[in-house]
A and B are shown apart, each in its own frame.
Chain A
Amino acid sequence: MRRLLRSLLFQLSSLFRNGTKEAELDEEVQYHVDRIAQDFEREGMSPDEARKAALKEFGNVEAIKEGSRESWGTHWLFSMVREFRLGLRLLWKSKGFTAAVVLTLSICIIGNTVVFSILDGILKPPSYPDPDKVFEIFNTYPELYGSSTKLGGAISRASYLDYSENAEAFESMAYAEIRDVNVSINDVLLRTRGLYVTKKFFDVVSIAPVKGRYFVESDFFDNNENASSIQYPVVIAESFWKNQLGGDGDILGKTIYLNSLPNFVIGVAPDSVSNHLYRPQVFRALPSVYRMTEDDKMRGRFADFGGIFARVKAEVGKDQAKAQIDALDQRYFERTYEGKKEFIKRSQHETKMATYQEMSQANEGKSLYLLQFTVLVVLLIGCLNVANLLIARGIRRGAEFAIRNAVGASEVEILRQVLMECLAIAFISCIFGSLLVLPTFSVVNHYFITGFFPDYYPDTVLRLNKSSTFFFIGISSVAGILLGVFALTSYFLTRRKFLNPLQEHANNATSNKTIRRVASILVSTQVALSVVLLISAGLFIRSFFAAIISDPGIGTKNIYVSKVGLTWADWKEPERISEFRRRLRSSLQDTPGIEAVAFSLFVPVAESLGTNGNISLPDVPDEPSSELIAAKVGFVSEGFFEMLGINLLTGRYFEANDANRDGGTIVIDRAFTEKYFKGVNPLGKYLGVGSSFNVSNFNPKTTPLIVGVVENIQHHGLDKGHGAWGAGNLPMYYALINNSYLSQEYTLIVKSSWPQNELYQLIQDKVREIDPRLPVYFNQPLERAIGTSLNQRRIFMLLVTILGFLALILSAIGIYGVIAFDVNQRTREIGLRMALGASRKGILKLILQQGAGKIALGVFFGLIGAFLLSERIGEFLYEVKPTDPLGYILVTVFVLIIAFFPSYLPARRASRIQPMDALRAE
C-alpha cells in the first residue's frame, strides 16, 4: 500500500515537475559523460578526442534518457503529448479536411449552446424566493375566445378584492395594471411602461430593493389618483436607473413626473422583479382599486384590465389554493345578476392559476423545444459526417498504420494515435467555438431575442452563465466522445485492413464490405434527417409567406404611423384634446404632399385591440344574452376607413358631425354582422356598452347608433388568427375617438409622398408647435409595423431554414466523401470490369445507382420521419397543413437533385479510370 502510494506520488510529482526531472536527467548524464572523458584524458587523449570518445562509449544519449523516462512510468504522458502534437500537425497538413470538420462541429456546438441558453433563460423560474409558490391568476373563457394552450391573461380588480380578502391559502396577493406613461426625471423625457400596483406587490415578489424601500400601507392615499395635488411614491427599475439616469446616487426623494404629474422616487427595484412581468420601468401605487363599492365589485367582475400575482402559503398546495378560488367564484355566481350568470355559463368561464415557469413552458417552451430538437439533429448529422470523413481517412491511412505496426508499434499505440487525433479535432473545435460564443450571443440577443421575446430583458435571456458554460463544455465533450466512438468503431470494423493491407486484396473483401455498409447507413441517416428538417423548414417558409401575402384588409402604400403621448395633467379637458387633434390634423393637411391624416388608438393590423365583453344589442331579440357579446373595439377618427381603403359594405363611414350626437355612432365589420345580426339589417340598430346598460329600458339618444358596415381587417398581427402564436380573431366594431373618451396615446396615421425621415421631422415640428414637451415616437411605415407582427414567425422560419440547409450541405459532403471513397476502393474492380468490356456509361450508371440507392433509402425514411413529426408542428403553421403533399414532393425532388452532384463527381471519375493503369497500380 505504501509502495503504491509512493509510486503514485512519484508519478504525480514527475507530472508537475517534468521540467526539473528532465533537467536533472540531463545533468546526471552529462556528469557521467564528463567523467568518462576525464578517464580518457588521463589515458592521454586530447580533451576534444576524449569528449568524442566518451560520447561514443556512453552510447545513444537520447535512447538512454528515453529508457529512464520509461522507468519513471511517465513516458506515456510524453508520448501522448507528442501524439497530440502529431495529430495537430497532421490536421494542419490536411487543412481542407480540418477546416470542414472544425467548422461543422463548432457551428453545431454553438447552435446547441445558444438554443440551450435561451431555453434555460426563458424556462427557468423567476429569481424570486420559492418561485413555485408564486402564481398568476387569470380568467379564461373557452367558449368566448376559443380554447388555447396558452397560459396567462387578464383579470379584474373586483376578482382581486374578492380573492385577497377571502382566500386564506395566500400569504400575499397583488393586482397590477400596465400603463404606458410619459416619464420625466432629471433631464430625461421618454415614454415607457409603468406598472401600477396594489399594496402587497413587492411582498409577492420578495426580492429586496437595490436602493431605498418599497410601498407601505400609508403610500396608498384614499384619494382621487388623478388629482394633481397629490404626490405618489414611485419605485423605478434598476435598468431605468442605470441606463437612463446613469445610476444617480441621489435618486431617492427626487421628483419624477408621470404624465406630467409630480411624484417622488422612494426606491429602486432590481430587474429580476420585473423580468417576468412585462419589463415595466416604473412602479406606482394604485390606490383606486380600494375605492370600489359593493356594486362595483358585483358588476366589474369580468372587466379584465390587470393581472393578479399571488404567493401561496408555504404549507398550502396549488390544488388547495385553486379550490378556494373556485369556491369564491361559485359564491359570486350564486350572488350575482341573471345576465352575469348566463355569461359565466355560456362562456365556460374558469379562473386559472399558473406559475411563471408553467406559463413560459406552455407559451414559449414548445417552439424552443422544437428548435433544440432541430439543432441536436444538426449536431448528430455533423458528427455522422465527421465520422464518415474519419472512416474514409482512416482507410487511406491504412497503409501507414500497417507499416507502423510492422516496425513494432503496438495496436494500442495506433489506437491511441487515432484517439489523439479525435481529441485534437474536438479541442480545436472547442477553442474555435469558444471564440465565437460571445459574438454569437450578442448577435442573437440583438436580432432575435428582442423580436422573439419582447417581454424579457435580452441580456437576461441569453448570457454566458454557469449553465451555458457547462452546456458548452458538455456538448463539446459529447461531440468529442461521439467522434472517438465513431473512430474506434471504424477502427475495429476495418482493423483487419489496417493490419494486413500489405497482403492481397482477397482478404479485405469482407472488411471492405462492412466499412461500406456502415458508411452507407451513415449517409442514409444523414439524408433522412436532412429531409425531415427541410420539410419542416419548407412548411415554416410557406406559412410565413402565406402570412406575408395574406390580405391585411387595408392598403399600406405611402402610409406612415407615428405615436404622440398626451399627458393628462396638461391635456386633461376633452375640449383641449380634441383641439389638439384638430390643430395637428389641419396643420399637417395644409402641408403640400400630405394626402390624408387620421387618428386611431391602435396601429391597424399590427397591434392587438382591446376586447369589450360588455356589449348589448337591444334590437336583436333572439340574442339569448346581451352579456355574451364580445367584440374587439377600435377607436378611430373620421377619414380612417377612406385612407386605409377599408371597403364600405352598407351604410356610411364616420362623418365630422357624428361627434355631435350624444350617444355617438358605431361602424361594425362584416364578421360582427354575420355573427350577431344573422340576416337582420344592422343599420339604425343600437349597441349598448357597459355593464350598467339596461336592455329593456334604454335611452336611444344616449346609445351608440350603428351607421355602417365595413369589410373585415386582420387584428393583432397578420397571422394571429390561430395557432401557437395566435390570439384569436373576433368580430369588431369601430367608435369615434370622441370627446368623452380620453386617451394618453394617439396613433397618427399619415398618407404622404414625402420621404419618410422628412415626414417624421415635419410631424415632430408640428407637434412641437402645439406643445414642445410631447414625445413623438414609433415613427415607421405602416407596412413595416405590420411586418413586425410576424417577427416570431420570421425568426423561427429563418432559424429552421438555415439549419435545414446546413444539414443538407453536411449531408452532401457526406455523400461525396462516401462515394468518392467507394470509387477509390474499387479502382481495381472498375478497371477489371472495363478490361472485360464494360462501357464508360455503364460504369457511370453503376456508381450513380449505388449512390442513388443510399439517397433514396434516406429520403424514404426522412419522409416517414417528417410525417410522424408533422403532428407536433401543426400548431406553428399558418394556412398550410403539416401533411401538405406539395412540401413533401418539392423537398424530395430538391434533395434528390442536390444529392445527385456529390455522387456524380466521383462517378464520372470512376468512368474515366484507365483499365491498364488501374490494374498496373496493383
Chain B
Amino acid sequence: MPKDKQDLLQGTLDLLILRILLSGARHGYNIAKHIQLVSEDVIHVGQGSLYPSLHRLEKRGYIEAKWDTSETGRRAKFYLLTPEGKAKASLEENRWNEFSAAVNLILKNG
C-alpha cells in the first residue's frame, strides 16, 4: 500500500477540515461540498478519506460532534471545533504557510 502518499493527503485534509470548521459547525456533506466550492472544483474530497479523518480528529479531541437539525430539516451530525482544535487550526495553518513558502522558494529559485 502506498502509505506515505495517504499520510500526506490525510494531513492536508485535516488542515482543510479544521480551517473550514473555524467558520462554524458543519456536517460531513457540507464540509465536502464546501471544500469543493471554495477550491473552485479543484479539490474533491473522497468520502473514503473524509469520514475516517473526521472521526480521527474527533478522537484526538480537536473537534466535537453533536446531532442537530440540518438545512433540509433532517437530523445530521454536525462537527465543531474545540478550543484545542482552534489552536491546532492556526498552528497547522502557520506550518502549511511556512511549508508552501519553502516549496515556492525552491520552485522559483531551484
- Spell out A's residues near B (CB within 8 Å): 2-3, 6-7, 10, 24-25, 27-29, 31-32, 34-36, 38, 58-60, 63-65, 67-68, 70-73, 408
What's the Cα separation between A58 and B44 when bound, in Å? 12
Question: How many residues on B have C-beta within 8 angstroms of the other chain's C-beta atoms?
Answer: 25
Q: Is the interface of B mostly helix, strand, loop or mixed?
A: helix
Q: Chain B residues with Cβ under 8 A from A35's Cβ?
A: 29, 72
Q: Chain A residues with Cβ under 8 A from B48's Cβ?
A: 59-60, 63-64, 67
Chain B minimum-CB-distance residue to A65: B51
Judge whether B77 and A68 touch: CB under 8 Å: no
Judge whether A68 and B60 touch: CB under 8 Å: no
B61 within 8 A of A: yes
Judge whether A71 and B47 touch: CB under 8 Å: no
Chain B minimum-CB-distance residue to A2: B61
> Can you give 25 contacting A-B residue pairs, CB < 8 Å?
A2-B61, A3-B60, A6-B61, A7-B60, A7-B61, A27-B75, A27-B77, A28-B27, A28-B77, A29-B47, A31-B28, A31-B75, A31-B77, A34-B74, A35-B29, A35-B72, A58-B47, A60-B48, A64-B51, A64-B52, A67-B48, A67-B49, A67-B51, A68-B55, A73-B59
What's the Cα separation between A36 and B76 when bound, in Å? 14
Give the distance to chain B from A167, nearest Cβ to Cβ, in Å. Answer: 75
Give the distance to chain A from B99, nearest Cβ to Cβ, in Å. Answer: 24
Besides the known contacts A28-B76, A36-B29, A64-B47, 12 further A-B residue pairs in the complex with CB atoms under 8 A apart? A25-B51, A28-B27, A29-B51, A31-B27, A31-B28, A31-B29, A60-B48, A64-B48, A68-B54, A71-B56, A72-B55, A408-B1
A71's contact among B28, B46, B59, by CB below 8 Å, is which?
Answer: B59
Contacting residues of chain B (32-56) with chain A, CB-CB under 8 angstroms: 32, 46-49, 51-56
Q: Chain A residues with Cβ under 8 A from B54's Cβ?
A: 68
Judge whether A71 and B61 touch: CB under 8 Å: no
Judge whether A31 and B74 touch: CB under 8 Å: yes
Q: Chain A residues with Cβ under 8 A from B56's Cβ?
A: 71
Q: Chain B residues with Cβ under 8 A from A2's Cβ?
A: 61
What's the Cα separation between A408 and B28 when bound, in Å? 31
Give the distance to chain A from B9, nearest Cβ to Cβ, in Å. Answer: 13
Nearest 3 A/B pairs, CB to CB? A67-B52, A71-B56, A71-B55
Given A27-B75, A31-B74, are A59 and B53 neighbors across the interface (CB < 8 Å)? no
Judge whether A32 and B47 touch: CB under 8 Å: yes
Give the distance to chain B from A691, nearest Cβ to Cβ, in Å. Answer: 92
Q: Chain B residues with Cβ under 8 A from A10's Cβ?
A: 58-59
Q: Chain B residues with Cβ under 8 A from A60's Cβ?
A: 48
Q: Is the interface of A mostly helix, strand, loop or mixed?
A: helix
Contacting residues of chain B (58-90) with chain A, CB-CB under 8 angstroms: 58-61, 70, 72, 74-77
Q: Chain B residues with Cβ under 8 A from A34's Cβ?
A: 74
- Spell out B's residues near A (CB within 8 Å): 1, 27-29, 32, 46-49, 51-56, 58-61, 70, 72, 74-77
Give the distance to chain A from B73, nearest Cβ to Cβ, in Å. Answer: 12
Judge whether B76 and A31 touch: CB under 8 Å: yes
Q: Which of B52, B53, B72, B75 has the most CB of A within 10 A?
A: B52
Give the distance to chain A from B43, nearest Cβ to Cβ, in Å. Answer: 16
Judge whether B46 and A32 touch: CB under 8 Å: no
Judge whether B61 and A68 touch: CB under 8 Å: no
What's the Cα separation between A751 and B61 when bound, in Å? 94
B77's contact among A24, A36, A59, A408, by CB below 8 Å, is which?
Answer: A24
Q: Chain A residues with Cβ under 8 A from B75's Cβ?
A: 27, 31
Judge whether B59 and A68 touch: CB under 8 Å: no
Give the distance to chain A from B57, nearest Cβ to Cβ, in Å. Answer: 9
Chain A minimum-CB-distance residue to B67: A24
Q: Chain B residues with Cβ under 8 A from A64's Cβ?
A: 47-48, 51-52
Judge whether A3 and B55 touch: CB under 8 Å: no
Judge whether A71 and B52 touch: CB under 8 Å: yes
Give the distance to chain A from B74, nearest Cβ to Cβ, in Å. Answer: 7
Chain B minimum-CB-distance residue to A5: B61
B47's contact among A7, A25, A59, A408, by CB below 8 Å, is which?
Answer: A59
Q: Chain A residues with Cβ under 8 A from B51's Cβ?
A: 25, 28-29, 64-65, 67-68
Q: Chain B residues with Cβ under 8 A from A72's Cβ?
A: 55, 59
Q: Chain A residues with Cβ under 8 A from B60's Cβ?
A: 3, 7
A3's contact among B53, B61, B70, B77, by CB below 8 Å, is which?
Answer: B61
What's the Cα separation between A71 and B70 when bound, in Å? 25
Q: Which of A2, A29, A35 has the most CB of B within 10 A?
A: A35
Give the distance to chain A from B71, nearest Cβ to Cβ, in Å. Answer: 10
Give the distance to chain A from B87, nearest Cβ to Cβ, in Å. Answer: 12
Q: Which of A58, A63, A67, A72 has the most CB of B within 10 A?
A: A67
B52's contact among A3, A28, A58, A68, by CB below 8 Å, is which?
Answer: A68
Give the distance to chain A from B91, nearest Cβ to Cβ, in Å. Answer: 15
Judge whether A32 and B59 touch: CB under 8 Å: no
Q: Chain B residues with Cβ under 8 A from A31's Cβ?
A: 27-29, 70, 74-77
Q: Chain B residues with Cβ under 8 A from A28's Cβ?
A: 27-28, 51, 76-77
Judge whether B28 and A32 touch: CB under 8 Å: yes
What's the Cα separation between A63 and B77 when bound, in Å? 20
What's the Cα separation between A545 and B102 when bound, in Å? 97
Q: Chain B residues with Cβ under 8 A from A29's Cβ?
A: 47, 51
Q: Chain A residues with Cβ under 8 A from B27's Cβ?
A: 28, 31
Judge whether A59 and B55 touch: CB under 8 Å: no
What's the Cα separation between A28 and B31 when bound, in Å? 13
What's the Cα separation between A425 and B74 when bound, in Å? 48
Q: Chain A residues with Cβ under 8 A from B72's Cβ?
A: 35, 38
What's the Cα separation between A64 and B54 when bound, in Å? 12
Q: Chain B residues with Cβ under 8 A from A73's Cβ?
A: 59
Give the distance to chain A from B80, nearest Cβ to Cβ, in Å. Answer: 15
Judge whether B76 and A71 touch: CB under 8 Å: no
Q: Chain B residues with Cβ under 8 A from A27's Cβ?
A: 75, 77
Q: Chain A residues with Cβ under 8 A from B47's Cβ?
A: 29, 32, 58-59, 64
Q: Chain A residues with Cβ under 8 A from B76's Cβ?
A: 28, 31
Give the distance to chain A from B36, nearest Cβ to Cβ, in Å. Answer: 11
What's the Cα separation between A67 and B9 when bound, in Å? 15
Chain A minimum-CB-distance residue to B30: A35
Chain B minimum-CB-distance residue to A21: B55
